[in-house]
Amino acid sequence: MKKIFVLLLALSTTGCANYFLKRDCESTNWFEHGQKVAQSGKWLNADKKVMDCRRVEAEIQESQLDQGFKSGVQKYCNNDGAYLVGKGGDIFSRDLCEGPQINVLLQNYKKGIHEYCAKTNGQNAGSSGKKYQGVCPKELEPAFLTEYRIGRKRYISAVIENKKDRLRTIENSLSTAQGSLSAEERHLTTLRMVEASLQNQVNATSLQNTAFRSSLETQLNTAKANTNDQQSRVSRTRSEISSYESQRDSLTTEIGELRTELATLD
């Protein structure tokens, strides 16, 4: 029975997640999303959101997605676009850009890369939060990375402190919810005892004693409603606790990973 309950809970959770994903998909501006995918240097079939929305059979405005992607490719595959990709420290996806202009685009990309990889930009690049993608030429990389690590350490330290603050807030909320659950479960036990007592009295009361039996049944119905309401409160609190625990564990893992990276930057 326990395995069946866990399976049903998993199916219910998955169905709920798919429902909200589908709603999100169907409210998306697909033209803008197509542009965004292209300008990030990716093909549509490699985009997670597109794949997820197709997986749940959401209604995607395919024509808008395609038009947006083509518009994004035009912006990506021009001199300014290639330069900005380089200046942002990203890898240029040359397979998106066809035609004889590719060599000119690569030259503009290289100009942007040299600006990104300047020693004077290192700390700004590190503090931006974007991870270094190994794009700098060998002659520029050592000096750039020295400064980049300083900025990256500053960024990671700030993120760790922010996540620690969130973790403390979640742990306080978790502790409060756990205390509430204990009180709610005790109250639920009391209500069930009252309901059981009234049920026994109804069962023991003669059918001929109409007025008294009717009074008991009214009280029993009220007791059942109270028990159901309290059971709902308990279920909601348990759900809150599960959510807080999940957030706590996720944040703890993220902080651990950030601390590991921080140690490599010394």
Summarised one tens digit per residue, pLDDT across range 103-139 is 999 999 999 999 999 999 999 999 999 999 999 999 9
Predicted local confidence at residue 246, as pLDDT: 95
Domains parsed from the chain with CATH numbers: 1-76 (no CATH), 152-266 (1.10.287.1700)
Say how far apart CA 157 and CA 154 lie, in whole Å.
5
Summarised one tens digit per residue, pLDDT across range 17-45 is 677 778 889 888 999 999 999 999 999 99
For residues 109 and 83, the answer to whether their CB atoms sit within 8 Å is yes
Instruction: Lowest mean pLDDT of 28-42, 137-151, 157-171, name the range.
Output: 28-42
Summarised one tens digit per residue, pLDDT across range 188-213 is 999 999 999 999 999 998 888 888 98
Summarised one tens digit per residue, pLDDT across range 214-263 is 999 999 999 999 999 999 999 999 999 999 999 999 999 999 999 999 99
Among 249, 251, 198, CA closest to 226? 198
**Residue type for position 208:** Q
Tokens in use for 130?
A: 């974007």
Summarised one tens digit per residue, pLDDT across range 52-102 is 888 888 888 889 999 999 999 999 999 999 999 999 999 999 999 977 889
Tokens in use for 5?
A: 């309950």
Burial of 25 (0-12, 13-18, 19+ CB in 10 A): buried
For residues 58 and 21, the answer to whether their CB atoms sit within 8 Å is yes
Predicted local confidence at residue 249, as pLDDT: 97
